[in-house]
Structure 1
Amino acid sequence: MINLSRIHFPVTTLGPGRRIGIWFQGCSIRCPGCISMDTWVHGRGTTKVGAVVEAVSPWLSAADGITISGGEPFDQREALFDLLAGLRARTKADILVFTGYPWATIRDALATSPSLIDAIVSGPFDIDETQTLALRGSDNQELHLMTPLGRARFEGLNRRIDEKDRTFDVMFDENGDVWLAGIPARGDFRRLRAILEGGGSTLRISEDTRFPSL
């Protein structure tokens, strides 16, 4: 079984090309300033791994890659690797995984299945770090290229961030909630909230807002 927050296609802001986004539900790391507090709680969205593979299968032929984030995928390590194996059996698209765990913590687990992940961004989000690198929320996070496909697809993202990285994908769910996928600059969500509320809208955001420095 797997606890899942949501899936979406296409996602264009979390890796190269048009990607399938899969967000795990539940996170034990809970980085201060996280933009996705809604994915912290464990025990929501429980389903079978095979059901997730079937749900994304209609998109696989059109997808350049798959991005798995959360929540924290490595909190559900067995489900994560079952999902990766199921996806690998159906597509040659690249697979990128975001984890808040340091590289030293997950390296041994990855060694047992070295070909399941093409690239991985590791390390916790740190609100006291600068944010100057592409595909990373803070500069302590590391991009690891795990396979030849990963090197071909992601080597160009080992660079400084630029303006084209400051974009979001907008998603709507069946309840009318709006989800933004991407890696925002510090304070982007608060600026968006101020703009929308200034126009008379009411907005509740999932960002951890306990830290005024954001």
Structure 2
Amino acid sequence: MTGIALSRLHFPVTTLGPGQRVGLWFQGCSIQCPGCISADTWDPNAGHVAFGAVADALIRLEPGADGLTVSGGEPFDQPEALAEILSIWRAYSSRSIFLFTGYDYAQISPWLLAHPGLVDAVMTGPFRSDLSQTRALRGSDNQALHILTEAGAEFLAYERPADATDRRLDVMFDDEGHAWFAGIPARGDLARLRRALSAAGHVAETSDRMPRGEAA
């Protein structure tokens, strides 16, 4: 494995699982759910980086992390790279690996069977803007949480209705002053943020080509 299409790598992320986690977002998504707030991660031709650089960053960040959360984009659109990345983490850490995927469980189960114990918990299913959003750690209520290992049992705490703590967002800035968010906002939160910034005299612009790479 020489390369991987990666949107971003960040530590710490506190809004996508318990504790302070390493967050890794794959680049490229074939599902492209209508209304997705991460459309900047759809393009499979962007964000190509050397696999070794990603592995080195994970190894460096692992000692201070409570786990690894992987999202995207769509992680399972790069199944070989996904297996390699998770194997690197597993070689250094027993802390939980949690994945978000837009595929249903039946679609990813062959991969999971081929890589037993590599994923501790996974949230499956496409984002559906036409459905309600009342459950913790979900963009829409059709998404299902699957606990796969004993380490993944810590995610049972998210089998509940969402509350205000679930709507927190991690805010990150790059060296050029661009901001991006990690977390699962409530419906309309980002539109309200744009209006609030506008009312304060700021101009908020969004882009489908956000900066890539690692923030620490």
Shift in Å at residue 200 of structure 1? 1.1
Q: Does 1:57 align with 2:59?
A: yes
TM-score normalised by structure 2 residue count: 0.92
Correspondence for 1:210: none
C-alpha separation in 1, matches of 2:202 and 2:39: 22
Q: Secondary structure at the match of 2:116?
A: coil
Task: State the one-letter code of the partner of 2:77.
Answer: D
Task: State the one-letter code of the partner of 1:165.
Answer: D
Aligned residues: 206
Task: State the one-letter code of the partner of 2:70.
Answer: I
Correspondence for 2:118: 116
Shift in Å at residue 49 of structure 1? 2.5
Cα distance, 1:138–1:206 mapped onto 2, change above 3 Å: farther
Q: Deviations over 1:94-141 (max 9, x none)?
A: 110100011111111111112011000010000011111111100000
Correspondence for 2:164: 163
C-alpha separation in 1, matches of 2:189 and 2:116: 36
Q: Secondary structure at the match of 1:61?
A: helix
Shift in Å at residue 174 of structure 1? 2.1
How does 1:132-211 map onto structure 2 within 5 Å? 132-151=134-153, 153-205=154-206
Correspondence for 1:84: 86
C-alpha separation in 2, matches of 1:3 and 1:79: 9
Shift in Å at residue 149 of structure 1? 0.6
Correspondence for 2:7: 5
Correspondence for 2:211: none
Q: Deviations over 1:14-51 (max 9, x none)?
A: 00000000011111111010001111111212123332
Task: State the one-letter code of the partner of 2:191.
Answer: R
Task: State the one-letter code of the partner of 1:13.
Answer: T
Correspondence for 1:211: none
Identity of aligned residues (%): 54
Q: CA RMSD in A?
A: 1.1
Correspondence for 1:29: 31
Shift in Å at residue 92 of structure 1? 1.5
C-alpha separation in 2, matches of 1:36 and 1:87: 24
Shift in Å at residue 206 of structure 1? 5.2
Q: Deviations over 1:141-166 (max 9, x none)?
A: 01000101101x11111111111111
Shift in Å at residue 195 of structure 1? 0.3
C-alpha separation in 1, matches of 2:173 and 2:110: 38
Q: Secondary structure at the match of 2:92?
A: coil
Consecutive aligned runs of 4 or more in structure 1 exceeding 2 Å deviation? none
Shift in Å at residue 175 of structure 1? 2.1
Task: State the one-letter code of the partner of 2:201.
Answer: G
C-alpha separation in 1, matches of 2:43 and 2:110: 27
Q: Secondary structure at the match of 1:171?
A: strand
Q: Deviations over 1:156-212 (max 9, x none)?
A: 1111111111100010112211011100111111000000011111112359xxxxx
Query: Which 5+ residue runs of structure 2 have no aligned equivalent?
Result: 209-216
